[in-house]
Structure 1
Amino acid sequence: MTPAATPAVHLSDLRLDRGGRTILRGINLSVQTGSITAVLGPSGSGKSTLLAALTGELPPAAGTVELFGQPVPQRSHALLEMRKGIGVLLQGNGLLTDLSVAENVALPLRAHTKLADALIRRIVDFKLNAVGLRAAAEAYPRELSGGMARRVALARALALDPPLMLYDEPLTGLDPIASGVIMSLIQRLNDTLGLTSIIVTHHVHETLPIADQALVIANGGLVFSGTPAELEGSADPLVRQFLRGEPDGPIAFDAVKRGVAA
Structure 2
Amino acid sequence: MTDASRDPAVRFDAVRLDRGGRTILSGIDLVVPRGSVTAILGPSGCGKSTLLSALTGELAPAAGRVEVFGRAVPQRTRELLEMRKSIGVLLQGNGLLTDLTAAENVALPLRTHTRLPRAVIDRLVEMKLHAVGLRAAADLYPRELSGGMARRVALARAIALDPPLMVYDEPLTGLDPIASGVIMNLVSELNDRLGLTSLIVTHHVHETLPIADRAVVLANGGIVFDGTPDQLQATQDPLVRQFLRGEPDGPIAFDSAPRREAA
Pairwise CA distance, 1:254: 3.0
Distance (whole Å) between structure 2 residues aligned to residue 254 and residue 44 of structure 1? 8
Distance (whole Å) between structure 1 residues aligned to residue 63 and residue 86 of structure 2? 24
**How do 1:175-194 residues align onto structure 2 when only pairs under 5 Å count?**
175-194=176-195
Structure 1 counterpart of 2:215, one-letter code: A
**SS at 1:97 equivalent:** coil
Q: Which residue does 1:86 correspond to in 2?
A: 87
Structure 1 counterpart of 2:227, one-letter code: G
Pairwise CA distance, 1:243: 0.3
Q: TM-score, normalised by structure 1?
A: 0.98
2:236 maps to 1:259: no
**SS at 1:125 equivalent:** helix
**How do 1:195-214 residues align onto structure 2 when only pairs under 5 Å count?**
195-214=196-215
Pairwise CA distance, 1:4: 2.8
Q: Deviations over 1:55-99 (max 9, x none)?
A: 001010000000110000000000000000000000100000000
Structure 2 counterpart of 1:103, one-letter code: E
**SS at 1:27 equivalent:** strand
Q: Which residue does 1:234 correspond to in 2?
A: 235
Q: Deviations over 1:156-179 (max 9, x none)?
A: 000000000000000000000000
Distance (whole Å) between structure 1 residues aligned to residue 184 and residue 6 of structure 2? 27
Structure 2 counterpart of 1:238, one-letter code: L
Pairwise CA distance, 1:20: 0.7
Pairwise CA distance, 1:258: 1.2
Q: Which residue does 2:50 correspond to in 1?
A: 49
**SS at 1:258 equivalent:** coil
Structure 1 counterpart of 2:32, one-letter code: V
Name structure 1 gaps, 5 residues minimum: none
Number of residues paired by the alignment?
259
2:147 maps to 1:151: no
Q: Which residue does 1:19 correspond to in 2?
A: 20
Aligned-residue identity in percent: 74
Distance (whole Å) between structure 2 residues aligned to residue 228 and residue 17 of structure 1? 29
**SS at 1:106 equivalent:** helix
**How do 1:92-131 residues align onto structure 2 when only pairs under 5 Å count?**
92-131=93-132
Structure 1 counterpart of 2:204, one-letter code: H
Q: TM-score, normalised by structure 2?
A: 0.97
**SS at 2:34 equivalent:** coil
Q: Which residue does 1:221 correspond to in 2?
A: 222
Name structure 2 gaps, 5 residues minimum: none
Structure 2 counterpart of 1:177, one-letter code: I
**SS at 1:22 equivalent:** strand
